[in-house]
Structure formats: C-alpha cells, structure tokens
C-alpha cells in the first residue's frame, strides 16, 4: 500500500476479492506487457475487458487505454467511461488497423481521468482476440 493505485482485498474480513483502488483524485497509470498469442489475427480488433466500479455515483471518469505493440510501433489510444457503483464489465476496443502484423508483445497502460470525489476500483481485466483462419482450420480438422 505504499504506491498508487493499491492492490487490496475488497473487505479483508468478509470479501477476499482482490481489486486495484485508485483513491479519489489519483490518476496514476498502471502498465503491463504481455506476449501475444501466435494465432492472433491482425485483421480483427483486439478487446481489453475491464471489470470495474466506482465507490460512489458522483464521478464517471474515462479510463484511458494506451496500447503499444512490439518494439518501435506507434501508441494508440482508446477509452471507456466508468460509471456507477455496480461492478460492470467495460470493453475497450483496439481497431484491427492498429494491430500490426508480426508483433510478439503488447503493452497496455490504463490511466483514469479526473475523479475527485469517488475511488475507482478494477477487479479484473483480460484480452479477447480473433484467431487466424489457419488456427481455426487446424482446430476444426483435429
């Protein structure tokens, strides 16, 4: 809990679900880099799904996504608005034209916009992609 956002239990006594918590007014980014699957189709969009909620209903900040593929690529930006206290799945879509052929890694940076009253919580995130035609053909043949 020495940095922001913090990784915490939702409620250590009764709810051990993990979450990232950005305190009100905290807009520090987080970033991860992950290998890309070899069967990723660069002809289709890539989606980052985020399960998130706000601690109250005053703020509805944008959650900005900066994506960078491989080495030497151009950063692309996407966004979703996080609104409400219900834990909800949000989808940030990276256009197919922004996913370069031959990239082996992807870096994702998430930065919340201003939220001066309510904390922002993220409970999980995952990437969804379309498999190449060749991968689907092999799977079908097996």
Task: Report whether pLDDT(142) > 60.
Answer: no
Q: What is the pLDDT of residues 42-77, one digit of tens each?
A: 899 999 999 999 999 999 999 999 999 998 889 999
Res 102: pLDDT: 87
Q: Which two tokens stand for residue 35?
A: 């290998």
Task: Report whether pLDDT(86) > 80.
Answer: yes
Res 44: pLDDT: 94
Task: Report whether pLDDT(9) > 70.
Answer: yes
Q: How many alpha carbons lie under 13 Å from residue 110 in its C-beta half-sphere?
A: 28
d(CA 30, CA 81): 17
Tokens 């709810």 -> residue: 15
In this prediction, residue 29 has a pLDDT band, given cuts at 50, 70 and 90, of very high
The percentage of residues in the chain with a pLDDT greater than 70, rounded to a whole number, is 93
d(CA 10, CA 31): 22
- Specify the pTM: 0.88
Which residues have CB under 8 Å from 14's CB, separation 6+?
Answer: none
Q: Provide DSSP, 49-109.
A: EEEEEESSSS---EEEEEEEESSS---EEEEEE--SSS-EEEEEEE-GGGS-TT--EEEEE
């Amino acid at each position: 809990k020495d940095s922001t956002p913090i990784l915490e239990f939702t409620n250590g006594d009764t709810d051990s679900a993990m979450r990232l918590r950005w305190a009100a007014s905290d807009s520090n980014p987080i970033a991860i880099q992950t290998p890309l699957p070899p069967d990723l189709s660069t002809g289709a969009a890539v989606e980052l799904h985020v399960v998130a909620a706000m601690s109250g209903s005053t703020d509805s900040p944008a959650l900005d996504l900066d994506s960078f593929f491989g080495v030497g690529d151009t950063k692309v930006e996407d966004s979703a608005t996080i609104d409400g206290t219900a834990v909800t799945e949000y989808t940030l879509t990276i256009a197919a034209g922004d996913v370069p052929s031959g990239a082996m890694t992807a870096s994702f940076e998430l930065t919340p916009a201003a939220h001066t009253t309510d904390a922002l919580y993220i409970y999980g995130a995952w990437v969804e992609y379309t498999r190449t035609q060749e991968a689907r053909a092999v799977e079908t043949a097996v």
